[in-house]
Structures are given as C-alpha cells and as structure tokens.
Structure 1
Amino acid sequence: MTTPTLEGKRVRLGRMEGEKDLESWAGWFRNVEFQHLLDVEPPHLWSAGQIQTWLERKDDRSVLFGIRTLEDDALIGFVTLEALDWMTRTAWTSIGIGVEARWGQGLGREAMSLLLGYAFETLHLNRVSLTVFEYNQRAIRCYLRCGFLEEGRARLAVQRFGRRWDLVYMGFLYEDWLRLKREEPVILS
C-alpha cells in the first residue's frame, strides 16, 4: 500500500527512506527499554538486514509511517496500520517513539491522531484496535487521550520484570471519531 504524507502541527507522517532511517531503526532496536514497550518477545538485536526487510514489506493490508518532527525533520519513531481487513473495515495499529528524548512530549499522541484521521476519513475504516502492556502507563494515557477505549484484558498474559502483567485491548470506532470531531479538537496538547 502506498504511504501518503500526513502533516500535523509538530509532526509529519511519511515513508521511511534510506540508510539514515535504517540507522535510526537499528539504534532504537538496540534499546532494551524501547523493545520492552513494543514486544512480548525477549529483547534481541535486530540485524540491519532484518530491519530492511521489515521496512520494505509491501502489501495491501498494511501501511508504515515514519514520524518526523517538523522543526528539524528528524525521524523519531513509527506508526502503523496493519491487518487491514477491507471487508470488515478494521485494522490494528502500533506506534513507537524511538528517541527517548522525545518521550512524554505529546508527539506520539499527535502522530496517532493523524493516523486515525487517515484511517477513518481516507480509508473509511470502522474500527482501529491495539494492544498495550499494562505496565506501559504512558502509552495507555496517550491512547485514552486520543479517544481509544479499553475493551478488555488478557489477564497476566505477559511475563516481564520478574512478574506477570495484563495485555490491554483497546479500540477506537468511526463513531468515536465523529463524536470527538464534534466535541473537541482531535489533537490535544
């Protein structure tokens, strides 16, 4: 699927490109804390080849955006729509801000809001879903502020940091998007 360019107040979503982007990704995936926030698998080093293969995958069921800051065009993360089902008009999303210095600044929230606008207004999806680890409270707050609702939990599904944690399921419907557009700006600062 072709990756469009989407621009907000502080970030732009667009295609991942070139060696420089590959180097950024490789750095993020050497960060154990970053991996703990994204994946249930134990952290492991990704080779440049593995990252390149993942970045270059193309199909009509997924779209991968790089997240860049408008102030300096720096690649700071990614956001995806995956498992797009055109019959049911649903998809799954994930996001990662790989540059720790950018955590907690609302850039991920703005990127997710841009992605949701694309999902609902351009792709005409009815539902976007995600999962998040119970211990990732910053992400949960971000998703709630974007308009996602918690829909359930897989109790004690994740082993991490010497204990078990819930896997939280969240969803966002087109009707939620319309309600938010009527009530308040979608991108909150």
Structure 2
Amino acid sequence: MITLQPFEEEDFQRLISWLDNEELLVQFGGPLFSFPLTSAQLQNYKNDKSRLSFKVISLPDQEVIGHAELFPSDEEKTIKICRVLIGAETKRGQGSGQQVINELLKISFLQLGKEKVELNVYDWNTNAIKCYEKAGFILNANKTSQMVIKGNTWTAVNMSIDKQHWI
C-alpha cells in the first residue's frame, strides 16, 4: 500500500539522489529540469502553485519511495499526470507504480472533478505503458513528440482515460 503526501523542501535531496544521470532526469522530467538537478530547480518547481506534486510513501513502514505530479491541462476538464517515479529501486516491480496511478486517478476524478486524465510516456518505456494500460489508459496515436537526448531521438506518446471509462 502507498499514500501520497505533499512534496516538501525536505524531500529535495532524496529526489536529487534518485535522478543521478541525465537520461533518468529527462525520462522523469522531460524538458522541465536540466542536469544535474539542483535544489534551486526544485524550489522553482515547488513554487509553481499550478502543480500538485507528491511524495509517494510506502505503508505501513512510512518510507518515501517515489514522486508524482498532477498538472492542469489547457483543457478545463482535463489534468495531466507527470513526473511519476518509484525512486527506491527495491520498491520497483512490486506494484507501487500501479498504486500511484490509481491514487492520482482518484484525486483527479473524485477530488478535483476532472473528466479526463492524460499523460506522456516515452515509447520505449514498456513497463510504464503496461502499467498505464492496466489502469485503463488508451494510446492517442495522433499525439506524439520527440526529444534528442545525447544524439538519440526519444518519442513520447500520449495516453488518456476518461472518467466514464475509469474502473
């Protein structure tokens, strides 16, 4: 089991330690951050009141194992899931990511009253894509973007779920 709590300044160093290489930072944050990640960047990020950023806490041991964010979309009834990371390597592959997505969907649909949730994920991140599909997300084939990272082109695909299709 997990719970989400607000991301605070006390969490900065932990997140920085998890994102210790450029590729992982780009996978996590897209173009929002530059490597190396710093407390100053995270302070600017935290000061953006439009972002709902969370630390992911494993229960019952209360260990902080990850990070996640909700961010408003240009469309009024839509919100985006962003910057999802299970940073504690020992907690990966145990279903924590699925629980995070389910909690973010509950917040989006039940607390915030949104009708649609979107996210972007790199097409090579098959584990994340499977996690999102298991939660009910579908691929939007017409919505892609690309970034060049150290000479390699990364393609991000868009996925979404409507409240009416939420399980």
Q: What TM-score do the two structures reach when normalised by structure 2?
A: 0.85
| Map of 1:5 onto structure 2 | none
Q: Does 1:90 align with 2:90?
A: no
* 1:40 CA displacement: 4.1
RMSD (Å) for aligned C-alpha atoms: 2.3
SS for the counterpart of 1:135 is: coil
- 5+ residue gaps, structure 2, are none
* Residue 2 (structure 2) aligned to one of 2, 11, 21: 11
| Map of 2:161 onto structure 1 | 172
Tell which deviates more after alignment, 162-171 or 123-132.
162-171
* 1:149 CA displacement: 0.5
Cα contact 1:16–1:66 (8 A) shared by 2: yes
| Map of 1:54 onto structure 2 | 45
Residues paired across the two proteins, number: 165
Q: Does 1:24 align with 2:21?
A: no
Q: Does 1:106 align with 2:95?
A: yes
Q: Does 1:132 align with 2:121?
A: yes
* 1:132 CA displacement: 0.5
SS for the counterpart of 2:62 is: coil
Cα contact 1:158–1:164 (8 A) shared by 2: yes
| Map of 1:69 onto structure 2 | 58
Cα deviation, 1:42-100, whole Å, max 9, x if unaligned, reads 96112222223322432xx3311110101321111111110256x73111111122222
Alpha-carbon separation, structure 2, partners of 1:35 and 1:153: 26
Q: For residues 122 and 137 of structure 1, do their structure 2 counterparts lie closer, same or farther at Cα, with a shift above 3 Å needed? A: same
Q: Does 1:35 align with 2:10?
A: no
For residue 100 of structure 1, what is the amino acid of its counterpart?
Answer: E
SS for the counterpart of 1:169 is: strand
Cα deviation, 1:111-133, whole Å, max 9, x if unaligned, reads 11011011111211011111110
| Map of 1:7 onto structure 2 | none
Q: Does 1:121 align with 2:119?
A: no
The alignment-based identity, stated in percent, is 27
Alpha-carbon separation, structure 2, partners of 1:72 and 1:15: 18
* 1:156 CA displacement: 7.4
